[in-house]
Structure 1
């Protein structure tokens, strides 16, 4: 099956689709028009699909001419509430919304892979599922759980699942993949601290919630520095502080909002427990009180070791030796981890760095962009990963012996 040639014939269409999605971004749970555009392209390609998963999600089904196993490829479709600052000709036409995480590219590349697989289905043994997932950015809820609950895989249970993500830290032509942890547990928390208000000149009559919050913030950092195993990664970040009403009034309450990132479940549980103990204990010792609302978010994205090897081999076949260098995992959160709790598979990174930029803009930045030369590579990778995975599964290779 000549995948590269087929993808290149479709490359202009992939670029055009990416630009169309980019101009009309829709944030999590609002992807109605994006879903319609996906369905229109699937109709054009003659690919069967089902809708209604997590409201706007789409499942396309490409059945090969020969019997075989089933593989799923996933793309997320939602945008972010960010005002775009790029200057190219296809900037977002929706104020305050932008595809700042590459989901426009993910969607276009999966449609490109679908076009090639549909064209080559006479040579295909097995079934490939194209999963277009909404609400990936809607942490800690996300759209993956809802798609599963809505029965996205009930009729076509996959034997392996795969997803890719644009990655500005890698050059075009490189793939990031590793066994085990790829992305981290992504939890959120809110700590509400209550004291007693009063006049700024008479602090002895009050319990200053801002001073209590200051002590809590400092103490939270000791969980990582003094309670956590130094060999197990963890991050505790306070991202928002809200408290006080006036310069000369001692604050009655303060709200802290933040995130916890880990890979290890035991570390996750330790931080959750210690956070509550510290916040409540410090507040009580200072004549106040604290309430911790901890939300378990996306689980760590854990790649199956066997399938990681298949993706790495595929990358080096498609792109050449050295195309899949050694990488370190990221503490970023990813809803695809929910799929990997249910099915073996791999989440990998697609190099999209813009060579002309001295400093790459990171994901979620208002100037985030990709080198569009990566689009054909991503479509080819997804297509070839699906083909190779089906060949491996159909051959009955024991994944435990790899």
Structure 2
């Protein structure tokens, strides 16, 4: 299909896939509990002639379609899980699960890939193997997330891919705009849990105690210098203290204080430096206040790094589909995180963004917000993009290194 043929073929089916998106939104499921969503996806793929393999990473699945004699294989990935957030949109199709909602647009990502799946099964012209990866638990937040578990269950062993591609909606960019970035695109995400152990006592006699709360207060301020004084100003790093808990009464010096940090970086060397300096600083601050420290440093998602050739290929598809004025060739990096990064550590590929809306539009509400909703105008564009990319990838010569 030509680019215009791709869009024309999908437009009559817009309501069908918007309906699927809203159905998934109405029935959200948390990480590793996406049973209904997985059933829905599997049923559609089987109806369209895909060979469906379920149970990868728990509720994950792969729909495979082989055509012609081509030896190349491509993987397209969509995530399926929702978040533990109470929805406040007031929409007719708002979540009916109390305290659970699709606040990140994974319902839309799933619908876009299903739209492409149908188009490719019915009209797609390609020669090779198409692997559609529907992943659970992107929001899980640890190295045991859906991407890692699918790979541990043999994703790329059983479904080899020469390249993989993923897409995420992004509020703040105009609806339908496609944003690409070669190299580091999203940050690593680590969690740090710190316990300062002191010696409790009476507030009126602080000299007979070792106050962990004062040490914690000083540590919060000291941690701000890690980025400003240890990291190259031209590098990206974030150290955020998101939690400080200590004490229950005004006249009692507590026995301990607890802090929780979110630490992010785009480069591995910076990530390593942050861990070294934070750990050193915690112990040094503790010693200076005559308390002791325990540091539980948990590495989470890796930085997401797009490979050069695959990103350039993905850009070309975007320009062909929506025009150069609707494509950002090298967008800014993000300090948010994404477990597609683990897949990109195993296979070359590209992760791109599609604008969800900007300014005062409804689609501009940021993700992970109770008022967020995926922009349905993106369903056809996203499906057409995946359709065109798969056809072109499975018809062209191997990409240059």
Q: TM-score, normalised by structure 1?
A: 0.95
**Aligned pair 1:369/2:373, yes or no?**
yes
**Aligned pair 1:143/2:146, yes or no?**
yes
2:91 to 88, 91, 98: 88
**Aligned pair 1:304/2:307, yes or no?**
yes
Farther off after superposition, 206-215 or 32-41? 32-41
Deviation per CA, 1:311-351, whole angstroms, max 9, x where unpaired? 11111110012211242010000000000000000000011
Q: Residue 243 of structure 1: CA displacement?
A: 1.6
Match of 2:356 in 1: 352
Q: Residue 68 of structure 1: CA displacement?
A: 3.1
- Asked if structure 2 preserves the Cα contact closer than 8 Å seen for 1:353 and 1:370, the reply is no
Matches within 5 A, 1:70-81: 70-81=73-84
1:327 to 316, 321, 331: 331
What is the SS of the residue equivalent to 1:153?
Answer: helix
> Number of aligned pairs?
396
1:27 to 19, 26, 30: 30
What is the SS of the residue equivalent to 1:391?
Answer: coil
Q: 2: distance between equivalents of 1:362 and 1:110? A: 22
Q: Residue 359 of structure 1: CA displacement?
A: 8.8
- Asked if structure 2 preserves the Cα contact closer than 8 Å seen for 1:180 and 1:304, the reply is yes
Q: Residue 99 of structure 1: CA displacement?
A: 0.4
What is the SS of the residue equivalent to 1:246?
Answer: coil
Match of 2:193 in 1: 190
- Asked if structure 2 preserves the Cα contact closer than 8 Å seen for 1:24 and 1:93, the reply is yes
Match of 2:226 in 1: 223
- Asked if structure 2 preserves the Cα contact closer than 8 Å seen for 1:354 and 1:370, the reply is no
Match of 1:39 in 2: 42
Q: 2: distance between equivalents of 1:41 and 1:172? A: 27
Deviation per CA, 1:340-389, whole angstroms, max 9, x where unpaired? 00000000001111665389211101111132111110111111112222
Q: Residue 65 of structure 1: CA displacement?
A: 3.0
**Aligned pair 1:129/2:134, yes or no?**
no
Match of 1:269 in 2: 272
1:14 to 14, 17, 41: 17
2:250 to 237, 247, 267: 247
Over 3 Å counting, the alpha-carbon distance change for 1:371 and 1:356 in structure 2 is farther
- Asked if structure 1 preserves the Cα contact closer than 8 Å seen for 2:73 and 2:161, the reply is yes
Q: 2: distance between equivalents of 1:324 and 1:48? A: 34
For structure 2, the 5+ residue unaligned runs are none
Q: 1: distance between equivalents of 2:362 and 2:134? A: 33
- Asked if structure 2 preserves the Cα contact closer than 8 Å seen for 1:191 and 1:293, the reply is yes
Farther off after superposition, 349-358 or 266-275? 349-358
Q: 2: distance between equivalents of 1:202 and 1:279? A: 26
Q: 2: distance between equivalents of 1:327 and 1:155? A: 34
Over 3 Å counting, the alpha-carbon distance change for 1:30 and 1:396 in structure 2 is closer
State the superposition RMSD in angstroms.
Answer: 1.4
For structure 1, the 5+ residue unaligned runs are none
Matches within 5 A, 1:150-299: 150-299=153-302
**Aligned pair 1:48/2:51, yes or no?**
yes
Q: 2: distance between equivalents of 1:388 and 1:300? A: 28
- Asked if structure 1 preserves the Cα contact closer than 8 Å seen for 2:363 and 2:373, the reply is no
Deviation per CA, 1:277-308, whole angstroms, max 9, x where unpaired? 11111111211011111111111110111111
Q: TM-score, normalised by structure 2?
A: 0.96
- Asked if structure 1 preserves the Cα contact closer than 8 Å seen for 2:185 and 2:306, the reply is yes
Q: 1: distance between equivalents of 2:104 and 2:363? A: 17
